[in-house]
C-alpha cells in the first residue's frame, strides 16, 4: 500500500477488481459462489472478468448469478469462442456506476481464439469519466507477437476514447489476464520501454509496480488445484513443476504517479488462503484502489459576487456546484 493511502478519504477511492473466472464446467456453481462471497467483502465499484461462461445463445447463468449476488449490473459482456465442452467463453464488465457507452475492441488478430476486449465508459461519483477495459489476450508461449498486436489495438482504442472524453476528466483502466510475463514485449510496450506492433509508443502505469506486494506477485500458482487441472488438460503430467507466474494485471493510462487516477493500494484476491481454503479459479484475482478525488470546476459566474477578489479562481466540488445552482 502507498504511504499516502491512509490519508485519502474512502469516498475518494475507486475500487476495481479483476479475475479470470475460468469457464471450465467442473464445480462451476461452487466456484461462482466462492467468487460472489469474496466480492461481498471486497465491494468493488467495477468488476472485470475474463473466461466468463456463456451459453450457446449468448446468455450467461454465471453472470446473472454474480450480478444478482453482488448488485453489480452487467454493463458490457460478449461471448467470443467455444469451449471444449460446447459452451462459450468471453469477457465482462460489471459496475453500479452510470454507463456513458460500452462495447468491444477488435484486437486485429482474427486467427487467434481471443479476438475482442470489452470496454465501458462509466461516470465516477467524484466526477471522473472512467474508460474501463477487460481484456484476455492470446495464450501460449509462442503467441507474444499476437499479444503485442492485440495490446496495440487496445491502446489505440483507448486513446480514441480519451480524446472523445477529453473535456470530461477521463481516466483509463485496463484490467485482465494478459497471459504475458512482466518483462515481455507486450508489457514493455505498455510501460513505454518498447514499441507496439505499429512502431508507436504509449505510457501506462502498472498497479503492481507501484503499490504491489512482492510476496503476492503470482497470479497463477503451481499449488492452485484449478491451475493444475488446466495444465493437465493441455498435456502437462506434472503441473506442480510449473513456475508460479504473474500474468494478470491492472494498468492505468498515462504517467499517473501521484495524479488523479493513480493506484494507491493493491491486494491479491480469490486465493486458496480464504477461509474456505479453496480457490475460485485457476487464476488469482487482483483488487486495486485508485485515487479519484472530486473533480474541481470554476464557480458559475452567477454565483460569484463583484467584490470577490478570487473571482474566476475559486474552485468548487462539482457536486456542490450542481447543488448550489438550484438556488440561482
Whole-model pTM? 0.86
Per DSSP, the three-state class of 44 is coil
Give yes or no for a contact between 166 and 121, defined as CB atoms under 8 angstroms apart.
no
Per DSSP, the three-state class of 280 is coil
**Residue 316 burial (CB < 10 Å; 0-12/13-18/19+)?**
middle
| The pLDDT of residue 160 | 98
pLDDT in tens, 122-158: 999 999 999 999 999 998 889 999 999 999 999 999 9
Residue 2 parent element (H or E): none
Strands lying side by side in the sheet with 99-106: 99-106, 116-123, 129-136, 170-177, 248-253, 204-206
Residue 224: pLDDT over 80: no
Distances (CA, A) of 269 to 34, 115, 287: 11, 27, 7
Mean pLDDT of the 257-284 span = 85
| The pLDDT of residue 272 | 73
The pLDDT confidence band at residue 232, using thresholds 50, 70 and 90, is low
Nearest to residue 16, comparing CAs of 40, 52, 43, 35?
A: 43
Pairing of strands 46-54, 13-20: parallel
The pLDDT confidence band at residue 304, using thresholds 50, 70 and 90, is very low
The pLDDT confidence band at residue 328, using thresholds 50, 70 and 90, is very low
Give yes or no for a contact between 222 and 283, defined as CB atoms under 8 angstroms apart.
no
Residue 49: pLDDT over 50: yes
C-alpha grid cell for residue 65?
448469478
CA atoms of 246 and 231, how far apart (whole Å): 16
| The pLDDT of residue 282 | 85
In total, the chain counts a number of residues equal to 328
Beta strands in the chain (DSSP E): 13-20, 46-54, 74-82, 88-95, 99-106, 116-123, 129-136, 170-177, 204-206, 248-253, 263-269, 285-291, 296-298, 315-317
CA atoms of 48 and 300, how far apart (whole Å): 37
Mean pLDDT of the 252-271 span = 91
Residue 309: pLDDT over 60: no
**CB under 8 A, 24+ apart: contacts of 153-161:** 153/105, 153/106, 153/107, 153/108, 154/105, 154/107, 154/117, 155/189, 155/190, 155/196, 155/202, 155/204, 156/198, 157/105, 157/119, 158/119, 158/131, 158/133, 158/253, 159/202, 161/119, 161/121, 161/131
The pLDDT confidence band at residue 83, using thresholds 50, 70 and 90, is confident
Residue 108: pLDDT over 70: yes
CA atoms of 282 and 232, how far apart (whole Å): 12
The pLDDT confidence band at residue 273, using thresholds 50, 70 and 90, is low
Amino acid at each position: 500500500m502507498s504511504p499516502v493511502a491512509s490519508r485519502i478519504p474512502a469516498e475518494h477511492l475507486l475500487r476495481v477488481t479483476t479475475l479470470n473466472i475460468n469457464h471450465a464446467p467442473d464445480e462451476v456453481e461452487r466456484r461462482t459462489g466462492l467468487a460472489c462471497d469474496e466480492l461481498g467483502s471486497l465491494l468493488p465499484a467495477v468488476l472485470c472478468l475474463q473466461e466468463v461462461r456463456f451459453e450457446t445463445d449468448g446468455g450467461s447463468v454465471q453472470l446473472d448469478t454474480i450480478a444478482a449476488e453482488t448488485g453489480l449490473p452487467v454493463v458490457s459482456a460478449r461471448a467470443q469462442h467455444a469451449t471444449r465442452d460446447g459452451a462459450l467463453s468471453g469477457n465482462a464488465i460489471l459496475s453500479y456506476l452510470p454507463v456513458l457507452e460500452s462495447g468491444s475492441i477488435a484486437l486485429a488478430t482474427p486467427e487467434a481464439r481471443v479476438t475482442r476486449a470489452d470496454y465501458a465508459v462509466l461516470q465516477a461519483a467524484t466526477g471522473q469519466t472512467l474508460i474501463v477495459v477487460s481484456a484476455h489476450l492470446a495464450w501460449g508461449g509462442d503467441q507474444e507477437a499476437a499479444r503485442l498486436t492485440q495490446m496495440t489495438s487496445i491502446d489505440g482504442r483507448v486513446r480514441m476514447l480519451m480524446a472523445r472524453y477529453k473535456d470530461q476528466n477521463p481516466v483509463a483502466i485496463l484490467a485482465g489476464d494478459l497471459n504475458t510475463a512482466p518483462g515481455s514485449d507486450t508489457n514493455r510496450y505498455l510501460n513505454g520501454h518498447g514499441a507496439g506492433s505499429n512502431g508507436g509508443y504509449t505510457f501506462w502505469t502498472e498497479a503492481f509496480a507501484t503499490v504491489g506486494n512482492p510476496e503476492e506477485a503470482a497470479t497463477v500458482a503451481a499449488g492452485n488445484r484449478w491451475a493444475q487441472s488446466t495444465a493437465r488438460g493441455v498435456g502437462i503430467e506434472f503441473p506442480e513443476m510449473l513456475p508460479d507466474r504473474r500474468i494478470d494485471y491492472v494498468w492505468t493510462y498515462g504517467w499517473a504517479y501521484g495524479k488523479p487516477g493513480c493506484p494507491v493500494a493493491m491486494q491479491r484476491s480469490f486465493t486458496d488462503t480464504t477461509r474456505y481454503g479453496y480457490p475460485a479459479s485457476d487464476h488469482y484475482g487482483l483488487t486495486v484502489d485508485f485515487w479519484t478525488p472530486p473533480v474541481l470546476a470554476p464557480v458559475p459566474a452567477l454565483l460569484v459576487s463583484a467584490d470577490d477578489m478570487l473571482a474566476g479562481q475559486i474552485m468548487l466540488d462539482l457536486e456542490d456546484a450542481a447543488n448550489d445552482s438550484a438556488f440561482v
